[in-house]
């Protein structure tokens, strides 16, 4: 959406594609793991949120050379959340809307905040 609403410079387009290429393998692994667990049956579903969080952590760490330094802290948060969710999986608590909402909703909100404070706010301040 951002690419469609803003005029982009060639460097920005190249950097965006580079970040997507860094993150794409993690998305494909997440899809593959999800499909494998879906075929394995409902007994394995409780482990998915923890694995998704760990896979997202790896993708976030892979993009840290191109994004603000705060992204590394968010990736660490996904790592910790993934470990906790895997510990909760045998009881089924990892499938709780609260557990997944806090992990992924909170992580995405934190990412948006870091990007805003590091990039958007600076651009708005410089244009004044």
Question: Which residue, 90, 73, 83, 10, is CA-closest to 52?
Answer: 83
Asked if 63 and 23 count as a contact pair (C-beta separation under 8 A), the reply is: yes
Q: What is the pLDDT along the chain (128 residues), one digit of tens a residue?
A: 444 455 557 777 888 888 889 999 999 999 999 999 999 999 999 999 999 999 999 999 999 998 998 999 999 999 999 999 999 999 999 999 999 999 999 999 999 999 999 887 666 655 65
CA distances to 19, 59, 94, 99 from 71, rounded to whole Å, are: 13, 11, 24, 21
Q: Positive or negative, the Cα torsion across 75, 82, 22, 122?
A: negative
Predicted confidence at residue 107, as pLDDT, reads 96
Q: Token digits for 11? A: 């460097």
Predicted confidence at residue 119, as pLDDT, reads 80
Report if pTM > 0.85: no
Q: Which DSSP string corresponds to 50-81?
A: HHHHHHHHHHHHHHTTTS-THHHHHHHHHHHH
Residue 67: how many other CB atoms lie within 10 Å: 20
């Amino acid at each position: 959406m951002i690419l469609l609403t803003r005029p982009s410079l060639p460097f920005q387009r190249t950097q965006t594609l580079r970040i997507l290429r860094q993150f794409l393998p993690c998305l494909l692994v997440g899809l593959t793991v999800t499909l494998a667990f879906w075929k394995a049956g409902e007994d394995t579903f409780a482990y998915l949120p923890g694995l998704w969080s760990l896979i997202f952590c790896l993708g976030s760490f892979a993009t840290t050379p191109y994004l603000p330094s705060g992204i590394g802290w968010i990736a660490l948060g996904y790592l910790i959340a993934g470990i906790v969710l895997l510990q909760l999986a045998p009881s089924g608590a990892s499938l709780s809307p609260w557990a997944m909402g806090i992990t992924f909703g909170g992580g995405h909100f934190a990412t948006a905040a870091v990007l805003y404070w590091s990039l958007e706010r600076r651009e708005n301040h410089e244009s004044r």
